[in-house]
Amino acid sequence: MTITVLAGIVALLVFLFLISEIVSAVLPLLIVLTCVPDREREALAEVLAALDSSHRLRLWPALRLAVALRRQERRLARAARDPQWNPYAHLNEHFADMPGDAPLNPPYDHAEPVSPPAHTGE
Over residues 72-97, the pLDDT tens digits come to: 887 887 777 766 666 677 777 777 77
Asked whether 70 and 46 are in contact (CB, 8 A), the reply is yes
Closest CA to 58 of 74, 77, 75, 71: 71
Please report the pLDDT score of residue 47 as a whole number: 73
For Cα atoms 11, 16, 18, give the angle at the middle one, nearest 5 degrees: 95
Using CA atoms, how far residue 49 sits from 14, 30, 52, 59, 66, in Å, is 30, 17, 6, 13, 6
List the chain residues with pLDDT less than 50.
Answer: none
Q: Which phi and psi angles does 114 have, rounded to 5°?
A: -75, -40
Q: Helices 61-81 and 41-51 sit at what angle, rounded to 10 degrees? A: 50
Question: What pLDDT score was predicted for residue 26?
Answer: 80
**Which one, of 45, 38, 40, 43, lies nearest residue 63 by Cα?**
45
pLDDT of residue 86: 66
CA atoms within 13 A on the CB side of 20: 6
Q: Where are the domains of the chain?
A: 38-84
Please tell me the predicted confidence (pLDDT) of residue 18. Answer: 92
Say what the pLDDT of residue 73 is.
81
| pTM for this model (two decimals) | 0.34
